[in-house]
Amino acid sequence: MNALTFSRFGGPEVLEYREVPDPLPTAGEVLVRTQAIGLNFADVYRRQGRYHLAGQPPYIAGYEAAGVVEAVPPGSAFRPGNRVAFADSPYANAELVAVPEDKLIPLPDDISPETAAALLLQGLTAQFLTCDSHAVRAGETVLVQAAAGGVGLLLVQLARAAGARVLGLTSSPVKAEQALEAGANEVRLYPEDWVGAARAFGGEGVDVVYDSVGSTLAQSLEAARVGGHVVFYGMAGGDPPLVDPRMLMDTSRSLTGGDLWNILRTAEDRRSRAASLFDLLRSGALKVRIARTFPLADGAGAHAFLESRQSSGKVLLLP
C-alpha cells in the first residue's frame, strides 16, 4: 500500500509518500480501506516532534479517517464492505489501516466519507469541550479562539445552540465573516486589543475561553472574568507559557486541559457521541465546512496549507 510517512522531524518537506507493507491486523482489529482522511494540527505536532510517537521510522501519522471494511477477524460484528469511520486510531495517513474494532463507528447511509472525516475528530472534540470540559449554559459568554478553524467553527455552533453568546477571534476579515456565518455574535482580529474586547463583551470578562493557540494562554486568562474558566486544548501557535497557580488562586479562575483521548473510552462512548453529532447535522443545527482536499500523495502541500493559517474548516487527504 501507499502511505504518507516521515523519518525525521521537521517542516512539511520531511513528508514522503511511499510504498510500505500492508498492515497485518492482530486479534480484534479490522482492516479498513480509507476513502477520506482528516488532517489535524496533532498530525503537524507529531511531524514536528512535539508529540510522542511509538515505534520506529518511517512514521505514519493520522488518527481520523472514513472508508470501507476490507477484512474482519473471526466473530466480528462488522462485515467486508461495511462503511465505517474512526477518530482515535493511529496510522490513518495510509490506504489501509488496521483499526481496533471497538474504535470503529458505523456510518449511516446519509453520511459521506468526506463528511465523516471532516466531522468526527473535531466534532467530538468540540462536543466534549462544550459538554464535559466546561458545560456551556444559556446566558454565558464564550470566547472562541481560532473561531474559523475546524474545531472553532463547531465550537461556535455548539455554544450558540446551548444558548451562549459567542465572541470569536480570528486572523483575518475573511475568517471573521466565516465565524459570523457560523453564529458568532461578534468577532475580533488578533492584532486588535482582543483581551479588552473580551472583557467588555462579558462585562468584566467572559465566562469561558477556549484556547487552541497555546502561546496566547496568558491573554486568555486575562480575558476571563474573576471566577471564569479557560479551557486549553491545543498549541497551534506555539507552546503555552507557564502559569503561576497563585494567580489562579487570587482570581478564582480555573484552567482545564482538554484531550479527546481521555473522553473516548469505550465503543459506546464513540458511537453514541458520534450519533449525536450526526443528528445535529441532519437537523441543520451543525454544519461542516471542508476548507480544501488534497491527494494523500500531496500531504506536504496539505500540511503547509494547514500551517499557513489560510484554512477555514477542515483539510482532507484523499487516498
Summarised one tens digit per residue, pLDDT across range 16-30 is: 999 999 999 999 999
For residue 185, the enclosing domain spans 138-257
Whole-prediction pTM value? 0.88
Segment 238-259 shows an average pLDDT of 92
For 266-316, how does the pLDDT look when each residue is reduced to its tens digit (9 = 90+)? 999 999 999 999 999 999 989 998 989 999 999 999 999 988 877 678 999
Residue 300's CATH number: 3.90.180.10
Question: Is there a single domain that holds both residue 22 and residue 40?
Answer: yes
Instruction: Name the nearest CA neighbour of 66 among 125, 17, 1, 118.
Output: 118
- Identify the weakest region by mean pLDDT among 128-132, 202-206, 257-261: 257-261
Distance CA 104, CA 99 (A): 7
Question: Is there a single domain that holds both residue 71 and residue 52?
Answer: yes
Q: What is the pLDDT of residue 251?
A: 95
Question: Is there a single domain that holds both residue 226 and residue 283?
Answer: no
Cβ atoms within 10 Å of 250's Cβ, excluding its own: 10
Question: Is there a single domain that holds both residue 311 and residue 274?
Answer: yes
Question: Is there a single domain that holds both residue 143 and residue 240?
Answer: yes
Residue 197's CATH number: 3.40.50.720
Q: What is the pLDDT of residue 58?
A: 94
pLDDT tops 90 at residue 261: no
Question: Is there a single domain that holds both residue 227 and residue 283?
Answer: no
Who's near 14: CB < 8 A, 6+ residues apart?
A: 6, 7, 8, 47
Q: What is the pLDDT of residue 149?
A: 87
Last residue of a domain, one of 210, 230, 257: 257
125 within domain boundaries: no
Q: What is the pLDDT of residue 184?
A: 98
CA angle 205, 164, 256 (to 5 degrees): 60
Distance CA 133, CA 126 (A): 10
212 phi and psi angles, rounded to 5 deg: -110, 5
Q: What is the pLDDT of residue 42?
A: 85
Question: Is there a single domain that holds both residue 249 and residue 281?
Answer: no
284 within domain boundaries: yes
Local confidence band at 235 (pLDDT 50, 70, 90 cut-offs): confident
Local confidence band at 3 (pLDDT 50, 70, 90 cut-offs): very high
Question: Is there a single domain that holds both residue 114 and residue 222?
Answer: no
Last residue of a domain, one of 257, 285, 300: 257
Segment 79-87 shows an average pLDDT of 97
Local confidence band at 32 (pLDDT 50, 70, 90 cut-offs): very high
Local confidence band at 264 (pLDDT 50, 70, 90 cut-offs): confident
Measured CA to CA in angstroms, residue 198 lies from 98, 141, 147, 223, 261 at distances of: 45, 9, 14, 6, 30
Q: Is 25 left (phi over 0), alpha (psi -120 to 50) or beta?
A: beta
CA angle 202, 260, 148 (to 5 degrees): 50
Distance CA 89, CA 240 (A): 26
Question: Is there a single domain that holds both residue 276 and residue 195?
Answer: no
For 161-207, how does the pLDDT look when each residue is reduced to its tens digit (9 = 90+)? 999 999 999 999 999 999 999 999 999 999 999 999 999 999 999 99
127 within domain boundaries: no
286 within domain boundaries: yes
Question: Is there a single domain that holds both residue 221 and residue 184?
Answer: yes
262 within domain boundaries: no
For 47-70, how does the pLDDT look when each residue is reduced to its tens digit (9 = 90+)? 999 877 778 899 999 999 999 999
The mean pLDDT value of the chain amounts to: 94
User: Is-cis flag, bond preceding 100, omega within 30?
Assistant: no
Question: Is there a single domain that holds both residue 115 and residue 60?
Answer: yes
Question: Is there a single domain that holds both residue 241 and residue 275?
Answer: no
**Burial of 301: CB neighbours in 10 Å, binned 0-12, 13-18, 19+:** middle
Segment 73-87 shows an average pLDDT of 95
Q: How many domains does the chain have?
A: 2
147 within domain boundaries: yes
